[in-house]
Amino acid sequence: MTKPNYAVAPGEYLEEWIEDQGLSQQQVANLLGCSRKQVNEIVNGRAPITADTAIRLERVTGIPLDSWMRYEAAYRAGLARIKDEEDLASRVGGIDGGAVTYLRSIGATTATKARPGQLVSDFLTFHKCGTWESYEHLHEETSTGDYALAALKDAGATLDRTLLTSWLRAAELTEAFEQGRSYSYDADKLRDLLPQLRDRAATPDATLLHDMRNMLADVGVVFAVVEPPKKFPLLGMTRWIDKRVPVIQQTGRWGKKDGFVIWTLFHELGHVLNDPRGEMHLEYSTEKKRNSAAEKNANAFAMGVLFGEAGATPLQGLSTDREITDAARELGVSPGVAVHQMHRKRYLPYNFGNKLFVDLTGTFHS
């Protein structure tokens, strides 16, 4: 809930009482045993109501001491909040407009840039950070290290940090992520599970993603599909809970077509099994570094698991839906996965084969 951007001084309650009683400030001062100046400063919010003053006010006004102390505490907290928002307002330019829209869409804020301090405060609250500096420090590791965070994104795309961290934080609020905190990851069991995952992925249907989530949960891997911000260039990401439990987080972009979702899942599984440290890394550079060693290894892993030693080469030269479907079945993958790789490797024009994709929209919600 948005906090008010004003603070009510406890002196306003005293002033109201004085007016109701038809007294002057001097008369009240006499009753309290203090100077008129002190009463005037309390009324105008320039002097605090101390515990001693609150006791006297209780005797004179009948309003309990605790009430006066609450009024005072609320006033000081309100002043601190206003000052904090004024200080934070200068940071609003550091939050991507898409991140603002995203936070509003998931109910994390109702503020707009018309109240920049409140907006930044809500942003920090969502990320569980007390200051902007703590936010920057906390997420500094996402842009450093060779294997810190593994991400599959559109080639050549750039990704704003505030967009990324908002999407990551949204995942932490899901049931799947919360359940994952108690998982015990077993890499050997995950390797043993790969053939079953591959077989299940070959027949995409309404329960595919749900089944995948349960299968991966059994070996201690969290699989979550989290709605992303608009125009978010990320397909998937691998991260870890306390460097213990791997989390494969996907956006379900490209219409949640099976080819993209399945390829991304196995690509991220490659990161889970090959990442030597289980930390987080993402290249924010505008340079085209997508083909880093970690990304190449993850692509090779996905290709090997899904297509075997021959890779996608058996798909070369095919053009009709029937040819592709027959070849996909022979390879043991879904036609959508086959088309995805044919597009990716330029074996097939992008306007061909699209009818073979299976739409997974609405089949799984984290």
Question: Tens of pLDDT along 343-355?
Answer: 999 999 999 999 9
| Average pLDDT score over residue span 39-59 | 95
Q: What is the pTM of this model?
A: 0.78
Those residues whose C-beta lies under 8 Å from the C-beta of residue 243, and which sit 6 or more positions away, are 277, 278, 279
**Burial tier of 350 (Cβ tally within 10 Å: 0-12, 13-18, 19+):** exposed
pLDDT at 286: 33
Domains and CATH numbers, the chain: 10-88 (1.10.260.40), 90-138 (no CATH), 140-356 (no CATH)
pLDDT-based confidence at 17, cuts 50/70/90? very high
Question: Tens of pLDDT along 315-342?
Answer: 999 999 999 999 999 999 999 999 999 9
Question: Tens of pLDDT along 219-256?
Answer: 999 999 898 998 888 888 888 898 899 999 998 766 57
Question: Tens of pLDDT along 174-189?
Answer: 999 999 999 999 999 9
* Separation of alpha carbons 125 and 231, rounded Å: 24
* Separation of alpha carbons 366 and 362, rounded Å: 11
Number of Cβ atoms within 10 Å of the Cβ of 278: 19
Residue 289 has pLDDT above 90, yes or no: no
* Separation of alpha carbons 298 and 267, rounded Å: 5
Those residues whose C-beta lies under 8 Å from the C-beta of residue 129, and which sit 6 or more positions away, are 135, 138
pLDDT-based confidence at 160, cuts 50/70/90? confident
Those residues whose C-beta lies under 8 Å from the C-beta of residue 39, and which sit 6 or more positions away, are 14, 25, 26, 28, 29, 32
- Read off the amino acid at residue 361: T
- For the chain, percent of residues with pLDDT exceeding 90: 71
Contact 273, 194 (CB under 8 A): no
Phi, psi of 195 (to 5 degrees): -60, -40
| Average pLDDT score over residue span 24-47 | 95
Q: What Cα–Cα distance (Å) separates residue 182 from each residue in 120, 177, 191, 207, 218?
A: 32, 10, 21, 24, 12
* Separation of alpha carbons 357 and 351, rounded Å: 12
pLDDT at 103: 96
Contact 329, 294 (CB under 8 A): no
